């Protein structure tokens, strides 16, 4: 098995790369999906979050009220750390479970916007970082309907571009076209297959 980490800032094109890798046969573990699963209705993590933050972060039917929790943690690093201390171990455990069910020849891609923040890059055989300048991130997020101010705030809240590229084995420059990206990922896939042996 080859364990690959995939990360990039919001709007960098990480999801496009993830889909392309899946098309080549990678087993993709989507951490956005895991992050939703660990706080599902009735989960131990959700119960712990409600214990720490109060029942106001639950909807009337007991599910997570994302906007309510977001409003607490978005501008409060300490609350965010408290939340992540609950969710990140649960996410890591679920990722390990998914990875264990992939075959021995699998190329497993950990598609994780927080790969570096969670320290997951250290356990990967290869780390791919999708990289574009901030103006391109903002432009592409705008095309998806996000206001520039919100895009900027989200980018500022993430780890720096340098902290990602600094741990990369492969940096994908995604300033070109989507066709160009597909071509780059095709070449990268061949290298991953070579690494897996």
Binding site for ligand ADP (CB under 6 A): 8, 10-16, 140, 144, 174, 176-178, 181
Nearer Cβ to ligand ADP, position 15 or 165?
15
- Least Cβ distance, residue 89 to ligand ADP (angstroms): 24
Token look-up 């741990």 returns 167
Nearer Cβ to ligand ADP, position 2 or 185?
185
Q: Could you give the dihedral angle defined by the CA atoms of residues 176, 152, 121 and 177, in that order, rounded to the nearest 10 degrees?
A: -10
CA atoms within 13 Å, Cβ hemisphere of 65: 15
Nearer Cβ to ligand ADP, position 46 or 155?
155
- Least Cβ distance, residue 186 to ligand ADP (angstroms): 14
Nearer Cβ to ligand ADP, position 16 or 69?
16
| Count of all residues that appear for the chain in the document | 197
d(CA 34, CA 98): 10
- Least Cβ distance, residue 124 to ligand ADP (angstroms): 18
How does 87-125 read in b/e, with b if 16+ C-beta sit within 10 Å?
A: bbebbbebbeebeeebeeebbbbbbbbbbbbbebbeebe
- Least Cβ distance, residue 59 to ligand ADP (angstroms): 26
- Coil vs helix vs strand at 158: coil
- Least Cβ distance, residue 165 to ligand ADP (angstroms): 14
Whether the Cβ atoms of residue 9 and residue 158 lie closer than 8 Å to each other: yes
Tell me the chain's radius of gyration from C-alpha atoms: 18
- Least Cβ distance, residue 44 to ligand ADP (angstroms): 28
Nearer Cβ to ligand ADP, position 120 or 174?
174
CA 84 to chain centre: 14
Nearer Cβ to ligand ADP, position 31 or 53?
31
């Amino acid at each position: 098995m080859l364990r690959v980490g995939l990360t990039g800032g919001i709007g960098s094109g990480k999801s496009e790369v993830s889909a392309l890798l899946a098309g080549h046969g990678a087993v993709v573990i989507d951490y956005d999906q895991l992050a939703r699963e660990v706080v599902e209705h009735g989960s131990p993590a959700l119960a712990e979050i409600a214990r720490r933050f109060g029942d106001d972060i639950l909807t009337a039917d007991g599910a997570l009220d994302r906007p309510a929790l977001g409003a607490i943690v978005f501008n409060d690093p300490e609350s965010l750390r408290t939340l992540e201390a609950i969710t990140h171990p649960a996410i890591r455990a679920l990722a390990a479970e998914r990875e264990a069910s992939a075959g021995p020849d699998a190329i497993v891609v950990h598609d994780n916007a927080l790969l570096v923040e969670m320290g997951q890059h250290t356990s990967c055989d290869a780390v791919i970082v999708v990289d574009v300048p901030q103006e391109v991130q903002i432009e592409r997020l705008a095309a998806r309907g996000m206001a520039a101010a919100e895009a900027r705030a989200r980018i500022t809240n993430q780890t720096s571009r340098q902290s990602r590229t600094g741990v990369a084995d492969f940096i994908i420059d995604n300033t070109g076209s989507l066709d160009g990206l597909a071509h780059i990922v095709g070449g990268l896939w061949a290298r991953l297959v070579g690494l897996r042996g």
